[in-house]
């Protein structure tokens, strides 16, 4: 005969399991955000290195300060386009400044909606924390989820970075070079190696010279 104590143990185990699953999900969300922040930081550093390579150290310093808090990978990719297109550092910085002003205007217009969303999320989090069993599971699962999320975000960040570099190569040397370049860097994931590839895009005068300096396919 099943006693009440036995049922309580079963309920606790079920709540713990359910909470651990939710903890992994939450940890994944946090890990993805942390990993994305890390990848954006590396992308910004690489763009500053490219600017310094092409326009000098002052342009690198000024660009780094201007894009320090840019979180959107597509906006950073646009900065990569401008580095290729611009003939001078001042032109580059002017484009970045205008983009920042546009971003501030958009953020101001959407601020009220953002605060409403945050208030709703706080209510949801408070309700979730009241579930004792699930809360214990969340604590167990969250670290695991963070690790998984960081790794997933790093992989996505490297893919975006390779895409940006290929886009720069195509912008400077044409679609045929972009196609071959994309194949040659497909397996490159080391951040320093990718940064060196970014510098070679700036340095090379011809697309074939660039291809000679990057990893061969396979």
What is the predicted pLDDT for the residue at 85? 92
- Measured CA to CA, the distance from residue 208 to residue 105 in angstroms comes to 42
Check residues 147 and 179 and name the one with the higher pLDDT: 179
Compare 10 and 68 and report the one with higher pLDDT.
68
Does the structure show a pLDDT above 50 at 208? yes
Is 130 a residue whose pLDDT tops 80?
no
CB 113 within 8 A of CB 1: no
pLDDT at 152: 80
Count of CB atoms situated within 10 Å of the CB of 107:
10
Q: What's the chain's average pLDDT? A: 77
DSSP alpha helix (H) spans, 56-131: 57-66, 73-85, 89-109, 111-129
For tokens 């190696």, the residue is 193
Model confidence over 131-140: pLDDT tens digits? 555 555 556 6
């Amino acid at each position: 005969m099943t006693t009440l104590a036995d049922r309580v143990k079963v309920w606790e185990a079920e709540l713990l399991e359910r909470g651990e699953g939710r903890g992994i999900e939450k940890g994944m969300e946090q890990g993805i955000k942390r990993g994305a922040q890390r990848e954006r930081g590396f992308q910004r550093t690489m763009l500053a290195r490219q600017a310094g390579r092409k326009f000098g150290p002052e342009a690198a310093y000024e660009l780094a300060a201007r894009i320090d808090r840019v979180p959107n990978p597509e906006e950073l990719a646009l900065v990569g386009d401008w580095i290729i297109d611009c003939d001078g550092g001042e032109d580059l910085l002017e484009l970045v400044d205008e983009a920042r002003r546009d971003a501030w205007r958009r953020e101001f217009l959407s601020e009220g909606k953002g605060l409403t969303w945050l208030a709703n999320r706080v209510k949801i989090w408070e309700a979730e924390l009241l579930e004792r069993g699930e809360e214990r599971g969340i604590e167990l699962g969250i670290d695991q989820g963070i690790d998984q999320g960081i790794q997933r975000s790093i992989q996505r960040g490297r893919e975006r970075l390779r895409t940006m570099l290929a886009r720069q190569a195509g912008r400077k040397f044409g679609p045929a070079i972009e196609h071959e370049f994309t194949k040659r860097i497909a397996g490159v994931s080391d951040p320093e190696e990718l940064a060196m590839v970014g510098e070679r895009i700036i340095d090379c005068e011809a697309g074939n010279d660039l291809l000679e300096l990057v990893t061969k396919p396979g």
